[in-house]
Chain A
Amino acid sequence: MPHDQGEHEALVIEDEAGNIEAQIVVDALQEVLIGKGLLTALEVTSAIAKLESPGIHLGAQVVVKAWTDPDYRARLRSDGRAAVQELKIPVTEARIIVVENTPELHNLITCTLCSCYPRSILGQPPSWYISKAYRARSVREPRRVLAEFGLDLSENIQLVVHDSNADMRYLVLPEPPEDLERFSLHELEALISRDHLIGVAREVA
């Protein structure tokens, strides 16, 4: 990771992740279902493992392919879902829209209504992405939010915030590092963080 993610997350997380009531209901329901033989504990853990297996390594793979293969990049921009599937990554989202950063433009992804996120390629969203503070402030004062993530975006750069409020899911295609040829594909993938792909970080180096 290019920077410590623990540092800024502490700034934006609020105390709302611990939904104790829902947890109690879920635990009770699971106990009843297992007791009645309708479900096994193994089925629960394997479902959780399946849910948690996608991660940002998949998103990073897509981005590096786009950086190093112009034809792929064009296909990714026109049909994100099909281009991701080309890499044998299973996609559950109806559509993936890839938004590209340029020297003049920066993209930021949010979901003001809940926690919509391209889980097939990025895994589960970080807790700050789900927080009410990020969901409200990412549309209300996005430049201040970026500054809190350590990104002071120049006013000359256009900021486009994408609210994934409905059926589309979004992936930011960051700009490649200037000295792209210096790195192997694996090294390039390792330079990309989840924050780049949401848009709360910009420079990949």
Chain B
Amino acid sequence: MKRFAAGDIVQVLALGKTGHVRIPHYIRNQIGRVTEYCGTYLNPEDLAVGNTAGRAVDLYRVAFSQRQLWPDDVIPQHDTLVIEIYDHWLAPAKETPNAP
């Protein structure tokens, strides 16, 4: 079941999983806006240990404000970063003034 749509505000979870996870540390806990639903894909956390029978998971592209990611830097307000996040790493979040 697709949980999010383009425009939704989401927070990246910090699941603390070990092994082959595809969610880099710099984006964990950050709040962003879904830009696109990418479809379902086999979970790389399963594939990395040879499990090709796992459930396919929803994948989203999520945009973040560069200023919010790196608050100590002087960055133009409109600069953004877009990254792919699997559904189980996302939680719904409230609108913030910083979301892109």
- Inter-subunit contact B82/A163 (CB<8 Å): yes
- Inter-subunit contact B80/A168 (CB<8 Å): no
- Inter-subunit contact A160/B82 (CB<8 Å): yes
Report which of A94, A112, A139, A155 forms a contact with B76, defined as CB distance below 8 A: A155
Distance between Cα atoms of A161 and B70 in the complex (Å) = 14
A92: Cβ under 8 A from any B Cβ: no
- Inter-subunit contact B70/A164 (CB<8 Å): no
- Inter-subunit contact A165/B70 (CB<8 Å): no
- Inter-subunit contact B22/A166 (CB<8 Å): yes
On chain B, the residues within 8 Å of A143 by CB distance are 75, 79
Report which of A113, A159, A161 forms a contact with B24, defined as CB distance below 8 A: A113
On chain A, the residues within 8 Å of B76 by CB distance are 155, 158-159
- Inter-subunit contact A165/B83 (CB<8 Å): yes
- Inter-subunit contact B78/A161 (CB<8 Å): no
Residues of B in contact, count (CB < 8 Å): 27
On chain B, the residues within 8 Å of A158 by CB distance are 76, 78-80
* Minimum C-beta distance from A117 to chain B (A): 15
- Inter-subunit contact B23/A161 (CB<8 Å): no
A140: Cβ under 8 A from any B Cβ: yes
Query: Looking at chain A, what size class is its interface with the partner chain?
Result: 20 to 34
Residue of A nearest to B40 (CB): A167
A161 with B80, Cβ < 8 A, contacts A166-B22, A166-B44 known: yes
Over the window 57-87 of chain B, the binary record of Cβ atoms lying under 8 Å from chain A Cβ atoms (1 yes, 0 no) is 0010101001001100101101111111110
On chain A, the residues within 8 Å of B61 by CB distance are 97, 168
Distance between Cα atoms of A162 and B81 in the complex (Å) = 6
On chain A, the residues within 8 Å of B83 by CB distance are 162-163, 165
A95: Cβ under 8 A from any B Cβ: yes
A95 with B39, Cβ < 8 A, contacts A113-B24, A165-B22, A167-B59 known: yes
A69: Cβ under 8 A from any B Cβ: no
* Minimum C-beta distance from B67 to chain A (A): 12
Sampled A-B contacts (25; CB under 8 Å): A97-B61, A112-B26, A113-B24, A139-B69, A140-B26, A141-B70, A141-B73, A143-B79, A158-B78, A158-B80, A160-B81, A160-B82, A161-B82, A162-B82, A163-B24, A163-B82, A165-B22, A165-B23, A165-B24, A165-B83, A166-B22, A166-B41, A167-B38, A168-B59, A168-B61
Interface residues of B (CB under 8 A from A): 22-24, 26-27, 38-39, 41, 44, 59, 61, 63, 66, 69-70, 73, 75-76, 78-86
